[in-house]
Amino acid sequence: MSRRSQTSPARGSGAPVVFADRLLTESVRALEQDGAAAIDEPQAQALAIESGGGFEQRLVARAGALSIAGELRTSLRRVDRTAATVVAVLVLLALAAGVGAARALLDVPREVPVNFFRLLGGLVGIQTVLLVVWFVVMLVRPSALARGSLGSLALWATRWLAAKFHTGPAHAAAIQAHGVVLRRSPLGRWTLGAISHGAWAAFNVGALVLVVIMLSTGHYLFTWETTILAADTYTPLTRAIAIGPQAAGFPTPSAQQIIEARWPITDRAAAEQAQGAWSGLLIGSVIVYGLLPRLLLLGLCLQRRRRAQARWRLDTSQPGYLRLQARLMPSSASLGIVDHDRAARSMPPATATSTSAHNAQRDVGPPAVLGLEIDTPPATWPPPMDGIAWNDLGFVDDRNDRRRVLDELQASATQPQIMVIVTALTTTPDRGISAFVKQVQIAAGCPVGLVLTGGQALRVRGDAQQMRTRVEDWRALAAAAGVPEQRVVEVDLDHMTQANLAKLADLVGAPPQRPVLRRVEAAFDLILDHYRRWPESPTVKEQAQLHQAIGALYRDEHESWRKLLGAPLDLKGDVTAPFRTSVQRVTNLLPPRLRVDARWMACGALAGALGCVAAATLLSPVAIAALPMWTAIGAAVATATKAVKSVDAEPADGGTTNSAARGDALRAAALFALLLELQGRDEVAITRILDQAIAQDDATDVDALDAARRWLDDMRHRLDLALAKEARL
């Protein structure tokens, strides 16, 4: 069967494009972005061009004609089914919660009176307060619903389950596409609203059913009581609550019956006669104030959701789409990274002139910062810095955000000291981003700095060469947009270290931040102290205790260097894979000349494996001697050094008995200390500094304590020289 017969046929220019087609196209964009390159299938491209229509329609036609389209549709259906299952479970849980709440509030011993207002507050009062909060948030900040509602909980569970039970690039792209649609369009907030109101409606149904059953099969005496409030307030309050249920036809207590229901009851016969009215008020309140508003809002959200779904369009300004424009719209100008002269010409001359004149008249204000196509960092946003009060322009995800930022910059009475644009290394630089950076520079009328974050995420996904290539691409884009090289810095906002803060401070001209804590001297002192107490051949367990002590010096940045090593949170189960990951991370950081040296490869592997132990046990320490992992460490070290043969250097392990094991243990610990001292820098810089800090001919005999001290002093001196040279780059 041909590829064309396996996929949807190309759409004609008159064929309607529905939401499912656009969602498929968005998942293709996510797949191509994750792979950092467009899928090269000329037949799909030709079919898209043949279909005619606008750019969006051709994108849809291309996506439907790709060979991966069938797999992506299956993945999208699986995500939909997962979402439906999660919502169904949420509704059932809400129904059960309503039943449980009603039973708990009415489960009182016979002849014991029930406080009516406490019962009403538990069934209706709390959810009414939450409903008011929902209204306020919808009016003031709808985006907050994505983090604090039942709907957001259901969507989080959907993403987690979908990623847990279905793996592969296609499924990851389908999950990401759903997330983009819900996060960047009104469809998201109406979907979240529908889920939340549906769950609350189920809660009210469960509560109502059980209230009716319990009132029908049992006898309850409703009363009210107070200690600090005036008794006169309860009569008008109850009559006000009764307006809705009374209008709906439910019996409600009269003013006299309300007075007679106060505890302790003086006229029990009169109170008994009023219980039907109190029961009607309770049932009517649950229906009128609980169930009915939720059903109405559920219907409204579903109606607005359908409308938003029909109106949703692909954001063709996204980088993944822009790089396809030249291919699918042959008459368009070719794409790529735009040079700054061309970007400047894209601005109307009158606008550029008026902006320059406006900028010349403005006072200088604080630095401004915006996040360009990035997820909200887990740390505080904007980056916290001593002495800096950021002008936060928020996050830019689509063309509306870009226009908002440009308008704010042009309308501002002050000119930023510097405009800092934070973007992700996982994002592919393209023409649209280059043009926007240039427009921001013109609108702000001040220097622009580019902060590249998310380096660790890119390292996990690719190799070192891909990382270097991506950094070079971003630097080329910055140069094309007129941003000098010295104002392009790599700062991973997911792992804010002192070194990263220092880079930011230097970029924005901030006063010196808290001094970067230099702990390499303390680490080397620890190494010498342990070295002094070691036998001629220290066991791997003794070496692990030293690595954990070194890690404790860098406890504040634990999460950063744990991720640098790829270490797990604990060492339960099979530890072979985590050890191999850490060994691979460390040996990859060694300079090329050391990777062909069996001794240094063994030391690097040992530093990686023992660093993994230190990272996984630092915050919840366990008895290292009791950990059953020493065979796995030896295997990881042996694997790393297998390709490097030498007659005078063997991999170090816990069973080594020759005196060279002591020197190798010293080298591994020193290497681990250097890595923790250099964390926060990019991997290329770490390798470059290690290449200078570790002597070219480092086969010195360090079996004696004085020799070990001199060796560490020499390494520290070379490290200082390397850091000084790095600061001048």
List Cα–Cα distances, 604 to 265, 506, 526, 560, 594, in angstroms: 82, 33, 19, 19, 9
- Quote the pLDDT of residue 7: 37
556, pLDDT greater than 50: yes
141, pLDDT greater than 50: yes
- Pick the more confident residue, 178 or 697: 178
- Pick the more confident residue, 289 or 699: 289
209, pLDDT greater than 90: yes
Question: How far apart are the C-alpha atoms of 605 and 599, rounded to whole Å?
Answer: 10
> What residue type is assigned to position 448 of the chain?
V
Maximum average pLDDT range among 31-35, 161-165, 656-660: 161-165
> What residue type is assigned to position 158 of the chain?
T
- Pick the more confident residue, 92 or 663: 92
- Cis status, amide bond into 651, omega within 30 of 0: no
Residue-wise over 167-197: b if at least 16 C-beta within 10 A, else e?
A: eeebbbbbbbbbbbbbebbbbbbbbbbbbbb
381, pLDDT greater than 50: yes
* Contact between residue 637 and residue 605 where contact means Cβ atoms under 8 Å apart: yes
The predicted-structure confidence for 487-515, as pLDDT tens digits, reads as follows 898 887 766 666 677 778 888 876 655 55
Helix (H) or strand (E) holding 415: strand 414-416
Could you give the angle at which helices 598-617 and 630-641 cross, rounded to 10 degrees? 150
565, pLDDT greater than 70: yes
- Pick the more confident residue, 337 or 274: 274
- Pick the more confident residue, 570 or 293: 293
92, pLDDT greater than 90: yes
Question: How far apart are the C-alpha atoms of 415 and 383, rounded to whole Å?
Answer: 20
* Contact between residue 492 and residue 533 where contact means Cβ atoms under 8 Å apart: no
pLDDT bracket for residue 350 (50, 70, 90): very low
- Pick the more confident residue, 712 or 159: 712
Give 467's Cβ-side CA count (13 Å radius). Answer: 18
Query: Left (φ > 0), alpha (ψ -120 to 50) or beta: where does 650 sit?
Result: beta
Give 518's Cβ-side CA count (13 Å radius). Answer: 6
Alpha-helical runs (H) found in 124-231: 126-140, 150-165, 169-183, 186-217
248, pLDDT greater than 70: yes
9, pLDDT greater than 50: no
Maximum average pLDDT range among 85-99, 339-353, 370-384, 607-621: 85-99
- Quote the pLDDT of residue 518: 78
- Neighbouring-strand partners of residue 452: 423, 490
Rg of the chain in Å (alpha carbons): 33
- Quote the pLDDT of residue 460: 58
- Pick the more confident residue, 455 or 246: 246
In the chain, the percentage of residues whose pLDDT exceeds 70 is 78
Residue-level length of the chain:
729
* Contact between residue 680 and residue 499 where contact means Cβ atoms under 8 Å apart: yes
* Contact between residue 513 and residue 705 where contact means Cβ atoms under 8 Å apart: no
Helix (H, G, I), strand (E, B) or coil at 596: coil
Domains in the chain with CATH codes: 93-150+188-311 (no CATH), 340-508 (3.40.50.300), 520-728 (no CATH)
- Pairing verdict, β 448-453 and 222-223: unpaired
Q: Which residues, in sequence order, are CB contacts of 275 under 8 Å at separation 6+? A: 219, 220, 221, 222
Q: Point out the least confidently predicted range of 112-126, 490-504, 643-657.
A: 643-657
The predicted-structure confidence for 14-67, as pLDDT tens digits, reads as follows 457 788 888 898 888 888 875 545 677 888 888 888 877 788 888 888 888 888
The predicted-structure confidence for 443-458, as pLDDT tens digits, reads as follows 888 889 999 887 766 6
- Pick the more confident residue, 555 or 571: 555
465, pLDDT greater than 70: no
- Quote the pLDDT of residue 672: 92
569, pLDDT greater than 80: no
pLDDT bracket for residue 298 (50, 70, 90): very high
DSSP state, 457? H
- Quote the pLDDT of residue 497: 65
The predicted-structure confidence for 659-711, as pLDDT tens digits, reads as follows 347 888 888 999 999 998 888 777 778 888 998 888 765 545 666 788 888 88
- Quote the pLDDT of residue 422: 92
Instruction: Specify the pTM.
Output: 0.45
- Quote the pLDDT of residue 341: 40
CA nearest to 455, candidates 727, 689, 683, 687: 683
**Torsions phi, psi for 372 (to 5 deg):** -100, 105
> What residue type is assigned to position 328 of the chain?
L
pLDDT bracket for residue 253 (50, 70, 90): confident
The pLDDT mean for the chain works out to: 78
Over residues 385-393, the mean pLDDT reads 80
Question: How far apart are the C-alpha atoms of 440 and 326, rounded to whole Å?
Answer: 25
333, pLDDT greater than 50: no
Question: How far apart are the C-alpha atoms of 711 and 692, rounded to whole Å?
Answer: 14
